Amino acid sequence: MQAASPTLAREEQVVILELDGDPYGIDIGKVQEIIRMKPITHVPNSPPFIEGVTNLRGRVVPVMDLRKRFGGAAREPTRRTRIVVVEIGPHTLGLIVDAVSEVLRVPADRVEPPSSLIAETESKLVRAVAKVDDRLVLLLDLEYLPSEVDRLDLDTVGADRTIEGRD
């Protein structure tokens, strides 16, 4: 049996999300599942980018519109729109994205830290930039997706609660 090559040992596997035609990557280890759009119940007084909650096999899961979180405009869902269910610390959160296009293995030598201009903004969300073929993919750090205030809101919106019945 051969040992893993150094290249394979130094790569990360990311799920590629699309927002406004731009690719973003998140660590596949944070992704619980990817589902089609489903009914979302609005929760009053939640942050503008929290669409509400949905029933995921008996669990109440808050759903965030990633376009709105990044300061973009909301868009009507299409047949490609997905909810990417992720784990952020103790929270389960659904992320509405325009599409999920692929899962990639990105060698470590193709990943660079973001420019200091990006790193100094509110966007600690971008942990690295991956050079994949002829495109750049912004790799997101999901830990920074909800701010501390938002984390408190997630608790009140219904994170990790269960309900009877199924979706």
Domain residues for the domain of 18 are: 9-162
CATH of the domain at 37: 2.40.50.180
* Cβ contact 135:25 at 8 Å: no
Q: 115 lies in a domain?
A: yes
Structure confidence at residue 159 (pLDDT):
45
Starting at the edge strand that comes first in sequence, how are the strands of the sheet with 126-132 ordered? Answer: 99-107, 11-19, 22-27, 135-140, 126-132, 111-112
Neighbour count for residue 159 (Cβ, 10 Å): 20
Task: Give the model confidence (pLDDT) of 114-143 as tens digits.
Answer: 877 665 555 578 889 999 888 999 999 888
Q: 126 lies in a domain?
A: yes
Structure confidence at residue 71 (pLDDT):
84
- Burial of residue 118, with CB atoms counted within 10 A of its CB: 0-12 exposed, 13-18 middle, 19 or more buried: middle
- Cross-strand partners of 161: 60
128: amino acid identity, one letter: A
Q: 3 lies in a domain?
A: no
Structure confidence at residue 69 (pLDDT):
87
CA distances from 147 to 106, 122, 134, 154 (A): 28, 10, 33, 10
Q: 72 lies in a domain?
A: yes
- Whole-model pTM? 0.81
Q: 167 lies in a domain?
A: no
Find tokens 């997630």 and name the residue.
154
Residues of the chain with pLDDT under 50: 1-2, 4-9, 148-149, 152, 159-167
Q: 80 lies in a domain?
A: yes
Number of structural domains found in the chain: 1
